[in-house]
Structure 1
Amino acid sequence: MEKIKVAAQARQKAGVRGELSKLRATKQIPAVVYGAGKEPVSISIAEKDLIAVQKAGGNVIVEITLPTGTEQAIIKEVQYHVVKDTPIHIDFQRVSMDHAIETVVPVVLTGECAFAKANSAIVDHVLREVTIKCLPADIPHHIEVDVTNVTIEKHVSVADIKAPKGVTILGEGDRTVVHVLMPKDEASAAAAAPAADAAAQPELSATKGKKEEGEAKK
């Protein structure tokens, strides 16, 4: 797993009203480093450094340099402004390079589904990410699933995924990752909703008509 070094500043006035806005105005992002049985540390890093980490891919190891020492961590969450969509806070989780951790990685489909191509079918990617457990250095950017041999009778479940060396995939083994949908399956599903609405409509109309008729007699 790739490691990126980031220089950070300790936040001495964490929680003080207005301090966070001042930081963000200078392109610094408030953050916290927590976990591994240690006290949380409030820090800030440059926005450009966050961009560099994100470009390196998910779950990259971040070596955070502080005046008091160095922290090894991964990004657990980045919070964004609801309107501006700019980063406003980062959660870093400490990691120990010799202790396995659980994290989530995306599932990427590879290959070309011959059955789907021959039958004008649709490859339905159901499960987009999986939870794994491994040493921090073994965390993959993603997990690949080959769809070449997927057919209408043969789908790929979590138990079918070939994990990289040193990686254990967690979760329900029978959970579907990818399968094939025939065009008629989608058409049937799409037609079901309007049909249900149409079936309900006469009953509503009849009820309304009886109510109006009763009111007319009055």
Structure 2
Amino acid sequence: MAMELQAQKRQVGPRSALTELRNKGKIPAVVYGTDVESEPIAIEESQFHQLVNQQGLNRVVKLNVDGKSLNVMIKDVQSDPIRNKVLHLDFSKINMNEKTDTSVSIVLEGEAEGVKDGGVLQHTMRELNIRCLPGEIPDNVTYNIEKLTVGDTVTVADLTVPNGVEILDAPESVVLTIVPPQAEPVEEETTVGEAEETDAEAGDEENGSGDAVPNKGQE
């Protein structure tokens, strides 16, 4: 079930107006669609974070704008990483009877045998691009890695999605690999005899006892 989000229309104004809006705990946003004119709105920051915690960013949201209800999806999030603050949101109105493109997280379950044996898990692909009806978007795509050993690779072709969901990524795309542990460099041990011989050779070179270079008269 889509989570509801309350929004209010706002007037387009200077940058200072947006700053004032954010200082009041609101996020400036815009909603648009094929049959909806682009409309500036504002939502409560606390309510947005609650939505993200409950259903993430890639699910259908029921947006109530001054009493008018719209089925939308979040298309863009502008944020300030330094202050960890959301600055602006884009909502796109969707048709619940038309397929839409989105992405969902790839969640790994269990601990791989290869990792227990010292291997290293390299999870290179963390989101899967899919196409389906808005109401059929899964929370995530899971894969159990418990039986994987060192050297095993999982590709997109190995993932399973619900009926009605189409995977858009190439089947050969690598999701994860269990690689062997990196061997620590081994330092060569030097025996006492070798050390004394090396020191002696170094001393001979310093004293000029190496091979003499013949002068022209001796050539």
RMSD after superposition: 1.9
- Partners of 1:39 and 1:150 in 2: CA distance: 51
**Distance in 2 between residues matched to 1:81 and 1:184, nearest whole Å:** 37
Deviation at 1:37, TM superposition (A): 4.6
Which residue among 141, 155, 162 is the counterpart of 2:160? Answer: 162
CA contact (8 A) 1:123 1:181 kept: yes
If each structure's helix is expressed as a fraction of its own residues, which one has the higher value?
1
Q: Contact (CA 8 Å) 1:107, 1:145: kept in 2 or not? A: yes
TM-score (ref. length: structure 2)? 0.77
CA gap of 1:68–1:41, structure 2 versus 1, over 3 A, is farther
Percentage of identical aligned residues: 32
Shift, 1:21, TM fit: 1.4
More deviation, 57-66/43-52:
57-66
Mind listing any 5+ residue stretches in structure 1 that lack a counterpart? 189-218
Equivalent of 2:135 in 134, 137, 150: 137
Per the alignment, in what secondary structure is the counterpart of residue 30 of structure 1? strand
Q: Is the 8 A contact 1:131 1:170 kept in 2?
A: yes
Residue among 171, 174, 186 paired with 1:173: 171
Is the partner of 1:52 in helix, strand or coil? Answer: helix
- Deviation for aligned residue 1:8: 0.7
Q: How does 1:1-218 map to 2 (within 5 A)?
A: 2-11=1-10, 13-58=11-56, 59-67=58-66, 69-117=68-116, 119-184=117-182
Measure, in 2, the Cα distance between the counterparts of 1:161 and 1:167.
Answer: 12
Distance in 1 (alpha carbons) for counterparts of 2:22 and 2:115: 49
Q: CA deviation at 1:32?
A: 0.9
1:113 maps to amino acid? A
Q: SS in structure 2 opposite 1:18?
A: helix
Find the aligned partners of 2:166 and 2:36 in 1 and give their Cα distance: 26
How many pairs does the alignment contain? 184
Shift, 1:82, TM fit:
4.3
CA distance in 1, matches of 2:98, 2:42: 26
Q: Which sections of structure 2, spanning at least 5 residues, go unmatched?
A: 186-219
CA distance in 2, matches of 1:71, 1:16: 27
Query: Which TM-score applies when normalising by structure 1?
Result: 0.77
The CA distance in 2 between the partners of 1:155 and 1:148, in whole Å, is: 13
Contact 1:29 1:45 (C-alpha < 8 Å) held by counterparts: yes
